[in-house]
């Protein structure tokens, strides 16, 4: 799907992809396996010093990165945890929870695999500095989710 900005309103960023694995495995790889596929050097707070990322699988759980010194940078909090079909998180890497947008990821059985759909919304509520990140996320999610698909092909 295309990302669209209509009459100055930042519409949700929606990405959809297919992986050749059942929804349970696709959900598990996205959540419990995030540290195996997330491109930390380019998409983290610590950059080259980031060594892992963890998504705690429960409502209220954190999604955070770990750096070489053991420090943690929180990216968001789990708002809905419905394995293997749906995950919703607040999203604020490098910012505070007050500046959060929201990311919903759904996993729907499709043919011999799973259709993953990511919906990054809440841009209209953010401050101008948050809204300025819209274009970077529209492109960035393609790169990040491409790493997820690449890893899914290898497992």
Q: How far apart are CA 141 and CA 155, in angstroms?
A: 21
Q: How far apart are CA 22 and CA 16, in angstroms?
A: 16
Look at residue 135 in the predicted model and tell me its pLDDT.
94
Tell me whether residue 50 is in a domain.
Answer: no
Q: How far is CA 11 from CA 82, 87, 125, 128, in A?
A: 25, 20, 11, 15
Residues of the chain falling short of pLDDT 50: 1-2
- Residue 16's CB is within 10 A of a number of other CB atoms, namely 13
As a whole-number percent, the residues of the chain with pLDDT over 90 amount to 90
Residues 6+ apart with CB under 8 A from 72: 64, 65, 66
* CATH, residue 15: 3.30.530.20
As a whole-number percent, the residues of the chain with pLDDT over 70 amount to 95
Number of domains in the chain: 1
Tell me whether residue 54 is in a domain.
Answer: no
Domain coverage including residue 146: 5-40+82-154
Q: What is the pLDDT of residues 79-120, one digit of tens each?
A: 999 999 999 999 999 999 999 999 999 999 999 999 999 999
């Amino acid at each position: 799907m295309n990302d669209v900005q209509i009459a100055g309103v930042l519409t949700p960023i929606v990405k959809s992809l297919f992986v050749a694995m059942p929804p349970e495995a696709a959900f598990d790889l996205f959540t419990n396996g995030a540290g195996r596929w997330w491109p930390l050097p380019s998409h983290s707070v610590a950059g080259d010093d980031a060594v892992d990322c963890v998504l705690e699988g429960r409502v209220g759980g954190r999604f955070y990165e770990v750096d070489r010194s053991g420090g943690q940078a929180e990216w968001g909090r789990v708002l809905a945890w419905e394995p293997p079909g749906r995950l919703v998180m607040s999203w604020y890497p490098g910012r505070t929870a007050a500046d959060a947008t929201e990311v919903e990821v759904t996993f729907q059985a499709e043919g011999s695999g799973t259709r993953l759909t990511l919906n990054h919304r809440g841009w209209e509520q953010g401050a101008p500095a948050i809204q300025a990140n819209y274009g970077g996320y529209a492109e960035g999610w393609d790169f990040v989710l491409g790493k997820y698909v690449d890893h899914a092909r290898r497992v």
